[in-house]
Structure 1
Amino acid sequence: MIQLSGLTKRYGEKVAVDDLSFTVRPGLVTGFLGPNGAGKSTTLRMILGLDLPTSGTATILGRPHRELPHPLRTIGSLLDAQAVHPGRTAYKHLLYLAQTNGIPAARVDEVLGLVGLAEAAGEQAGGFSLGMGQRLGLAAALLGDPPVLLLDEPVNGLDPEGVLWIRTLMRGLAAEGRTVLLSSHLMSEMALTADRLVVVGKGRLIAEGEIGDFTGAGASVVVRTPEAASFAGRLELSGACVQVHGDELLVTGMGAPDVGRLAAAESVTLFELTTRHASLEEAFMELTRDAVEYGAAR
């Protein structure tokens, strides 16, 4: 488990993280989302003890990172896959990490095979593609077989097969009871991978909850009927909000069962009655529209 309580980080007058509190529970993949400048990277660095908080705490299994006796065997992390000496081979890079954390050398071959780099074990990391570098970073995160994983943009540079592989891997690790915190800008991938979401903006917590809470909140009902104009008026009298587009109505504030019952009572012919859930991207944009620090001109 990862637990943040009142976590705050100031750089002079700049508040990068502002009284942030949330818990990442075991057995789930928790997505960590926010626009650029939201404080995600600073938060991840404080969890890993790379930056000291101005106030508040970040603990892993009840301890700050600096107090973990064997950090790599407690939490595996991937913040920057390029943070590898370019002259070292993949095998030597992982071997040195294993030796300094009391991990058997045999584990190096295991994780190289797990991430698909067994045949590249003797190649220098400086010659790796972006995707191969990501796989090496993941191998380092998994090296200590840790109960907690913290990964920042782990699918960056991976091909479709690699993206599917890591999605399956993350969900499998969570199913084993591990704690997985995953940060990414790819909303479509997060929607397929995460069980829970934590959304931050301008250093503060905006929302957290099950992923269905985010996509379900923006649900609307699509209705197609030859009596669109008159039925729209009846729906509005019943308290719904309705947008009319030809023979199609977009209804909010009333669920599909109630729309169907009203149509039956009014003898309205329906060609379509479906519920449309907001995508995670739509929900994210709505949640963070007032928390975008570095947005494009409109």
Structure 2
Amino acid sequence: MIQLSGLTKRYGDKVAVDDLSFTVPPGLVTGFLGPNGAGKTTAMRMILGLDVPTAGTATVNGRAHHELVRPLRVIGSMLDARAVHPQRTAYKHLLYLAQTNGLPVSRVHEVLDVVGLSEAAGRKAGGFSLGMSQRLGIAAALLGDPPVLLLDEPVNGLDPEGVLWIRTLMRGLAAEGRTVLVSSHLMSEVALTADRLVIIGKGRLIAQGEIGEFTGTGADVVVRTPDAAAFARRLELSGAHVRPGGGDELLVHGMSAPDVGRLAAAEGVTLYELTTRHASLEEAFMELTRDAVEYGSAR
């Protein structure tokens, strides 16, 4: 479990993380989301003891990172896949990490095999592609077989096979009862991988909960009928909010598809289509963070 309580980090007048509190439970993949500059990386660095909080605490299984005697056995992490000495081979990089945490050499071979880098074990990390660097970073995170994983943008640079692999890996680790916190800007991938979300903006918590709470809200019932204008008025009289969708399409909010169907049957309205369209995670994220975007593009 990862637990943040009142976590705050200031750099002079700049507040990067502002009284942030949330818990990342075991057995689930938790997506950690926010716009650029939201404070995600700073929060993760404080979890890993790389930055000292101005106030508040960040603990891993009840202990601060600096209190962990063999940290790789408790929490595995990847913040920057390129943070490897370019002249070190993949094998030597992992071997040195293993030796500092009292891990057997056999574990190095195991994780190289897990991430698909066994044949590249003798190659220098400086010659790796971004995708290969990501795999090496994930190997380092898995080295101590830790109960807690923290990964920042783990699918960057991976090809479709690699993306599917890391998705399956993360869900498998969570299914084993491990705590998995993953930060990403790829909403479509988060929607396929995460069980729950923590969303922050300008250093503060905006929302958290099961992923269905985000994608299940704001659903529209899509109706196509040759009697669109008349049926729209009837729907509104019944308490629904109706928006034209173009042509013979209506977007109905505030009334379920079965209720729309029953009303159409009672009114003798012909329906060409009656479906429920849920908001995408991207749409939900954009709506939640629209006032927390620090570096937005011109419109």
What is the TM-score normalised by the length of structure 2? 0.99
Task: Give the Cα–Cα distance (whole angstroms) in 2 for the partners of residues 31 and 143 of structure 1.
Answer: 22
Residue deviations 1:218-238, cap 9 Å, x none?
210000111110000011111
Question: For 2:46 and 2:10, how far apart are their aligned partners in 1?
Answer: 12
Deviations 1:36-67 (CA, angstroms, capped at 9, x unpaired): 01000000000000001111110000001010
Matches of residues 51-70 of structure 1 in structure 2 within 5 Å? 51-70=51-70
Deviations along 1:12-39, whole A, 9 cap, x unmatched? 1111111111000000000000000100
Structure 2 CA distance, aligned partners of 1:151 and 1:237? 50
Deviation at 1:288, TM superposition (A): 0.4
Give the partner amino acid of 1:278: A
For 2:210 and 2:238, how far apart are their aligned partners in 1?
A: 31
Q: Which amino acid in the other structure matches residue 184 of structure 1?
A: S
2:208 match: secondary structure: strand
Q: Distance in 2 between matches of 1:66 and 1:176?
A: 26
- The match for 1:164 is 164
Shift of 1:255: 1.2
User: Matched residues in 1 for 2:278 and 2:98: separation?
Assistant: 46
Map 1:189-200 to 2 at 5 A.
Answer: 189-200=189-200
Structure 1 residue identity aligned to 2:267: E
2:91 aligned partner: 91
Q: Give deviations 1:188-243, integer Å, cap 9, x for gaps.
A: 00000000000000000000011111011121000011111000001111111111
- Cα displacement string for residues 73-116 of structure 1 (whole angstroms, at most 9, x for unaligned residues): 00000000111111111101000000000001100000000000
Q: 2:277 aligns to what?
A: 276
Amino acid of the structure 2 residue aligned with 1:290: D
CA distance, structure 1, for counterparts of residue 239 and residue 292 of structure 2 = 31
Task: Tell me the distance in 2 between the aligned counterparts of 1:155 and 1:271.
Answer: 41
Supply the AA of the counterpart residue of 1:196. R
Partner of 2:110: 110
Partner of 1:186: 186
Distance 1:16 1:124 in 2: 36
Equivalence for 2:142 = 142
TM-score of the superposed pair, with normalisation by structure 1: 0.99
> What residue is the counterpart of 1:297 in the other structure?
298
SS at match of 1:268: coil
Instruction: Give the Cα separation in 2 of the matches to 1:38 and 1:212.
Output: 23
Tell me the SS of whatever aligns to 2:161: helix
Name the count of aligned residue pairs: 298
Deviations 1:238-276 (A, max 9, x none): 111111222110011111111111111111111110000
Aligned ranges 1:1-298 → 2 under 5 Å: 1-244=1-244, 245-298=246-299
**Residue 130 of structure 1, CA deviation:** 0.7
Equivalents in 1 of 2:206, 2:237: separation in Å?
34
Q: Note the C-alpha offset of 1:278.
A: 0.8
SS at match of 1:144: coil
Q: Which runs of 5+ in 2 are unaligned?
A: none
- Letter of the 2:260 counterpart: V
Consecutive unaligned residues of structure 1, counting only runs of 5 or more, are none
Runs of 4+ residues over 6 Å off in structure 1: none
Letter of the structure 1 residue corresponding to residue 67 of structure 2: E
Over the residues paired in the alignment, what is the CA RMSD in angstroms?
A: 0.6
Which stretch shifts more, 261-270 or 101-110?
261-270
- Cα distance in 1 for partners of 2:227, 2:134 equals 55
Note the C-alpha offset of 1:6: 0.6
Question: What SS does the corresponding residue of 1:4 show, helix, strand or coil?
Answer: strand
